[in-house]
Structure 1
């Protein structure tokens, strides 16, 4: 039970009529109408007693409680907590008990109080602490001072029967005996310290200069940290003498008192002195006292007590404050000074100084103050005055300086000085660079602001601390890539292995990162056989290629030690990293010298590291050279320049003709933020000028966008002027807006067909496609902001052509391109409105697919392909992107063996977006047996994040049929999701993490067999008992059409569920047959549709067999077979 609860319980038990007993005080709720008057009185009395037993800090927690039981329960919950909270507290207190040690400077009483406080906390939390355990811990935790007594107790007594009280008594007796020995040693040192002082005839030799009869005594010393100080001593005589401490003493910057409020202090009246700056060192005074309120700061008026004077009279102390003393070397502070208005003199208490570690010795006619027990460091020497008193003149601060908010807290100075470190602050104090800086001690606490703002990464050793002693004892490895373009052998990565002993290096080339493990096994077998040594250690980074389960299990099975670097610390694998850099630089230099193109490797690795420029001059304010960059046509500032002084640049041949932009607006100064964007390169300028060439108006803003390649490099910069289409009204500004686009099934079918036929796929990009559309309606717009024509601000623009942002712009563009292709004798597909084909008499065929402004085309005739590209580029302003490699977020890789499609880059960005880039992968998307429903017992989750995850997964299914069912299932709970749904969705992302390298391969030159597969569960939905259908179609290699959808009806059996799934797959198969017919691939034979339910196959062959059978019109031309 906590102390607060125990005190309250005792108060209640002492009251005979209290209604609260123990921890279960039975109280009748006040709101009950049948409560008796007696119970009300008892409740009020108990509640009053509980409230009275609490401190002001605890009282607000029960302020609103109306019953004693409610207040008691609140206190019990706050101090005891539930079972889990008590368990955590017990673990913390148990750890404190086990780690408890007595420090060297800690007193025995203080440590015993701390020790048994921890023991009581353990017992209050339910820990059974035996007396033997307490005795053993107490003896083990005492400091070196008690080493002898601990050894005696352990050798002479049985600890299992020894009582705690006996141990404490023995230790305390030993402690007092040691204190007596210490006092005797101090007295002996004192006698030696003053043996050199000769007292007589009012002179003290050694430190005294002049005569004792001078009115102002000077004494000097040092504070505890070495800073000089000086103070004045004053006598009642008229002559002046100067005192110097040649030994060098210490004056503590503060005197603290442990007296509490209400304690009675005792003082002694002294002979009066006219100088109010004089303080008398008094051994009969229990506290520092003064009657001058003006010399104190930080006066605490709540401290009041009676002071008994030497005459026996009691006077009132009205507060307690701090005295600020001005010295030659800064301010010093004397704390806990009582303010006694009726006191005639200022008194310094000898006892109060001794309580805080100071030693005062009265010797002859002098009082000497030391700062420690060694009696070596003298703080002050005060000569006895003519009236047998010991006066000391302390020069206090002026009122203006005293009101200037003196700050003694070193942490406040630390913050004021911009979180300056304490070592530098001590130097500033020693060099007297700052006035008022308090004496600084060793600060053991940690400043969180400094840690957060100044923490930096630890530097790495320049030299290796360890090297291998034999070959293959340690091997360094690293993977480099991917390159933007494949090598001749189709590789995009290379991996290096460096032996730490010999620095021998092996280089292997890889197609994919997933090949790392196989290459490592080949390398291991080769080097071990050739060298006769075994590979013992492998050092690498934490890349997924090195940390896969397969890789780790293999290393563990052969007993090889793995050494992995810390995240974002490539320096720990510096041998391999530096070797990769050396290899790249060697290859780059040789390729540049010989003029070898870089089509087989990434530009990021083999582009020039230096660029040509012309020296212009020196930087005016910077330490560098001003160079005109011949590539970017800009002047740049650089310090890394290599001069070729014997060459010059031909400026005439470098001049280029400038093409004027046909845009007749006079541009005013632009004040918005868009003019701060400085795009570089001609690609960006082309994107913007195409809009201006169309002479269209009313733009909302300049929309800048950077198009990236699959590896993250910049493909092009694009700028668009967008109209305010959201302000258009139907039937006024537009009529029809629908525009067809190519379906992903069609695109994948085209890719699969091209791969099977061995055709190459090409891509064209129409620049600003929507600007080619012709409007059927009259559309007007205001002049765009910052582009108004001078003296014509009241006029508006009339659109001649379509513009991005207009609702009818997509349809206008589609009508334009459809009309042109029809004019070029292309035949539009009946099944897909964006698919066009054209053939000739020689059997040549070209297929074109349009997706807004992207055109994908392929065919069997190189002549027709070249002719189509030439016609399109003559008709429209286009970009020839060459072989198809990136389309609708899909990466397309065309090789001699086939075509691969993937979304690896998007999958990685998806994991980074949701913070799962370092998550642990799983082997299947959904947990086995997981059943999701709209309403479950878990809490609601964030709809925004869930919808983003599901939407991203649906987009990822463009190349990942293995995610189709999971994404389709999760999409059913968009409006009723819980944390359970979110957990399953994040698990699917973990599956994506483990399958980043998955792609679909369409094999070249393989006999095409159009087949389909279908399947279904039964009553899989927990909400409406509907089943889920799934199907996939292929040409014998990779799938190109797939789906997973919930059925529209409730199936009464697995047969009906499989039958419905077969019917839906048949519908898709019929549409795909039409598409293939348009491609020139007439399906003369029936399409095989595989189903794993014999009853459903029988029902398909004989629809009369079951009364719930669906119409078989779509299945009349399809034969179905069971897959064995």
Structure 2
């Protein structure tokens, strides 16, 4: 910017030794000399340190005046920077930095009071004839490059940029929140108390109807303060003049009453009592002056001051002070048009399962060590983890050998629950930052199998039909059971004080821990040796699936890293397997399967329900779309998404993170699979229309966040599937989209939406290629079912293209098919062997259609119902 905008060449860059300021490659390329200050010698970079102090001083002043919560600290600093750059300085000969850079005076008319109440105009496209024309908000600064103001809207709890703003610079709504809660926030990932329009109480000021003017009461007058003012005359740049102006002091402006809220966990143990007498002063409360009153000099009667809320504090009971409650089924928030509570209901849940769901959604899990270190429960969890490491001889502390590099580590925190949903324990896990390991030095082989999600769903489908028991086990410190073949050093974990003393101490790892690239491989090798010695047979279709015995005594074991599922009809056999595993590993019995890898499992006599409700709600909460208007379809049927239209996103990481999280949600949501597949095509260079499509998809998820799969108990074991393709539908490559969904009886267990690898010359060819991919999946599912001792003699595949069915059923070879790859023709071998049977289905009953294209609302809902998706949390209509 210095070169492009102002013609200056940067020659020397001076900074401290912070790693984020080391741009060695860039500076070498541009020929810039990078100078570093000595450790703990900030005076060597005094100019920057002094400017930091200046910025923080102005930012603190903005805070003390506005009391806007500390989570807006970035807006504090940006506004402070903007103000410093615009106002004149005695050090610059009464000129501003803006004046010196641009050789013109800045426009001071745009200055507004930070943190004051504003009303921002709503967009015409988002309102009808009876919608509000303006929404209340808080002014939080200016946005570079945009000719407008940045406003935090209270009703929607979102930040907007607008030029149409009306300011009330004597009213500060956030004064109603105590300074302690505004300043101290030990959990950055947890939102501070939010304010809705109903929570904002205006001071006792006379609001004149029909105008934007606010007349302060007498309490605002008479306060003086000595402050520098900016004076301008004759079109010249303003200069600083030390004058005593009658400026109302911040402390003299009437403060509003405190807003009731639950204090932050472990920071305050009090809940302020509500005040039913507080209210908003509306124009209807103020008598309008008449002409007669004005002529006679009759003054309008003043409004009595707002009654303050009682300062009495109610203390939480001591046994509740460690817990933070976030009720999953609560009353809707005021002034929210589409509250999430309208789309979730517990009416269909049993009392025990409702208790489980509420617990899963309530307890806070910290993200960083400094958050957990303040909470005794998490402190004990970290001590327990470190003790387990030492007892297991995971490492020895030694000085770091010369020429070796130690990797770093971090803490991960999870809350574990019992089968009934009650709190089991707080689990702190030490994880190595394996992404810093060097191949060939710190590790060699890394591959380790994990259970496929399809295997998990097939297991649930068979358990529902065969009435199997489902048990869940967790291996404590599973990776500590694997021995390392390489020499790996790790920095001392946070909070760990070794018994030995010395300088440059590190941990020399003797056993694998979580996070190491080879840890999963070493653990799975050790686990496989144990279960195979007991007599389990490893499945060839999924190496994480083990089967023991047959008939009524059969036990199925599915392992995903350190989470284990046991299934079978004989509880004695299940107990025997569990006892054997307990002898070899430290196990935690989690009881009946209810929560596995983010999937919620609910069961009754009709079958098993599987959903990712909590995961979907977390996604909506993190993206601020809990209160958005729900959409009827995942993606508009008339969408024109392509790789060229629209502006590139300045920060593509946000888009990539959202699509990545949505990909995991597709494991239980075939209804969004096509939309996520489409959006994932633009990962490399996402544009604005793509991001808007992501938020449209989130609006659809908000409509049914708990929608998921259902495995009926009265199903059969017939393997069949539906396959379809959308010919030449990609506007960028003209390739076709394949889609299939596979069923075991009435239970959907597998589905996919994927762009074909090459361009097809006809719709028959694209359907034929899709049928080949679907046949591969059917063959694998048949092999998987045989591992469960469910023989499959044949499978049915339904297609809506007669030409493709004839091409697969007949050994034809002509000009239109001779170029198709040979591997696609193996479908003919499966038909000839009698394994595969093809059937024609009408397009109205082609369930795979939902996986190849965007459908209109009514047709989309019909296909969802036919696929067997249900929402056990759907509120009664």
**Which residue does 2:818 correspond to in 1?**
1107
Alignment of 1:69-218 (within 5 A): none
Residues of 2 paired with 1:795 and 1:912: CA distance?
Answer: 42
Residues 601/455 of structure 1: CA separation in 2 closer, same or farther (3 Å cut): closer
Residues of 2 paired with 1:1026 and 1:674: CA distance?
Answer: 50
What does the per-residue CA deviation read over 1:471-509, in whole Å, with 9 as the maximum and x for residues that have no partner? xxxxxxxxxxxxxxxxxxxxx99999xxxxxxxxxxxxx
**Which residue does 1:830 correspond to in 2?**
540
**Which residue does 2:524 correspond to in 1?**
814
Of 797, 801, 808, the match for 1:1093: 801
**Which residue does 1:1076 correspond to in 2?**
785
Residues 1050/758 of structure 1: CA separation in 2 closer, same or farther (3 Å cut): same
Contact kept? 1:765, 1:853, Cα under 8 Å: yes
Residues of 2 paired with 1:743 and 1:971: CA distance?
Answer: 21
Quote how far apart the aligned CAs of 1:64 are.
8.9
Residues of 1 paired with 2:260 and 2:539: CA distance?
Answer: 64
Residues of 2 paired with 1:712 and 1:802: CA distance?
Answer: 31
Residues of 2 paired with 1:543 and 1:980: CA distance?
Answer: 24
**Which residue does 1:932 correspond to in 2?**
641
Residues 968/722 of structure 1: CA separation in 2 closer, same or farther (3 Å cut): closer
**Which residue does 1:419 correspond to in 2?**
252
Q: Does 1:460 align with 2:168?
A: no
What is the aligned residue count?
A: 529
Contact kept? 2:492, 2:506, Cα under 8 Å: yes
Residues 888/782 of structure 1: CA separation in 2 closer, same or farther (3 Å cut): closer
Contact kept? 1:705, 1:717, Cα under 8 Å: yes
Secondary structure in 2 aligned to 1:849?
A: strand
**Which residue does 2:475 correspond to in 1?**
766
Contact kept? 2:808, 2:828, Cα under 8 Å: yes
Residues of 2 paired with 1:712 and 1:601: CA distance?
Answer: 9
Quote how far apart the aligned CAs of 1:680 are.
5.9
Of 421, 446, 453, the match for 1:744: 453
Residues 1015/682 of structure 1: CA separation in 2 closer, same or farther (3 Å cut): same
Residues of 2 paired with 1:766 and 1:743: CA distance?
Answer: 19
Q: Does 1:858 align with 2:567?
A: yes
Quote how far apart the aligned CAs of 1:900 are.
0.5
Alignment of 1:754-903 (within 5 A): 754-779=463-488, 787-790=497-500, 798-840=508-550, 843-903=552-612
**Which residue does 1:920 correspond to in 2?**
629
Quote how far apart the aligned CAs of 1:942 are.
3.7
Contact kept? 1:775, 1:802, Cα under 8 Å: yes
Residues of 1 paired with 2:357 and 2:810: CA distance?
Answer: 64
Residues of 2 paired with 1:706 and 1:792: CA distance?
Answer: 33
Residues of 1 paired with 2:504 and 2:260: CA distance?
Answer: 60
Alignment of 1:502-901 (within 5 A): 599=352, 602=355, 676-679=374-377, 686-697=384-395, 700=408, 703-707=411-415, 716-723=425-432, 725=434, 728-779=437-488, 787-790=497-500, 798-840=508-550, 843-901=552-610
Contact kept? 2:409, 2:433, Cα under 8 Å: no
5+ long unaligned stretches in structure 2: 1-94, 111-120, 125-217, 223-228, 235-240, 262-273, 280-326, 360-368, 398-406, 831-835, 843-877
Contact kept? 1:1011, 1:1087, Cα under 8 Å: yes
Residues of 2 paired with 1:893 and 1:1090: CA distance?
Answer: 31
Residues of 1 paired with 2:724 and 2:435: CA distance?
Answer: 45
Residues of 2 paired with 1:849 and 1:956: CA distance?
Answer: 21
Contact kept? 2:743, 2:750, Cα under 8 Å: yes
Residues 941/1059 of structure 1: CA separation in 2 closer, same or farther (3 Å cut): farther
Residues of 1 paired with 2:337 and 2:370: CA distance?
Answer: 46
What does the per-residue CA deviation read over 1:935-978, in whole Å, with 9 as the maximum and x for residues that have no partner? 01556464122112211211110100011000000000012222
What does the per-residue CA deviation read over 1:997-1053, in whole Å, with 9 as the maximum and x for residues that have no partner? 312110013222211111110111011100010111112323111110000111111
Residues of 2 paired with 1:801 and 1:541: CA distance?
Answer: 53
**Which residue does 1:1032 correspond to in 2?**
741
Q: Does 1:1014 align with 2:830?
A: no
TM value normalised by structure 2:
0.54
Q: Which has the higher contact order (CA 8 A, sep 6+)?
A: 2
Secondary structure in 2 aligned to 1:1026?
A: coil
**Which residue does 2:655 correspond to in 1?**
946
Quote how far apart the aligned CAs of 1:410 are.
4.7
Residues of 2 paired with 1:993 and 1:980: CA distance?
Answer: 20
Secondary structure in 1 aligned to 2:377?
A: coil
Q: Does 1:1123 align with 2:876?
A: no
Residues of 2 paired with 1:982 and 1:783: CA distance?
Answer: 41
**Which residue does 1:981 correspond to in 2?**
690
Of 714, 717, 723, the match for 1:1005: 714
Alignment of 1:1046-1057 (within 5 A): 1046-1057=755-766
What does the per-residue CA deviation read over 1:611-663, in whole Å, with 9 as the maximum and x for residues that have no partner? xxxxxxxxxxxxxxxxxxxxxxxxxxxxxxxxxxxxxxxxxxxxxxxxxxxxx
Residues of 1 paired with 2:473 and 2:706: CA distance?
Answer: 28
Of 222, 243, 246, the match for 1:409: 246
RMSD over aligned Cα, in angstroms? 4.7
Quote how far apart the aligned CAs of 1:780 are.
5.4
Quote how far apart the aligned CAs of 1:749 are.
1.2
Secondary structure in 1 aligned to 2:469?
A: coil
Contact kept? 2:373, 2:379, Cα under 8 Å: no
- Greater Cα radius of gyration, structure 1 or 2: 1
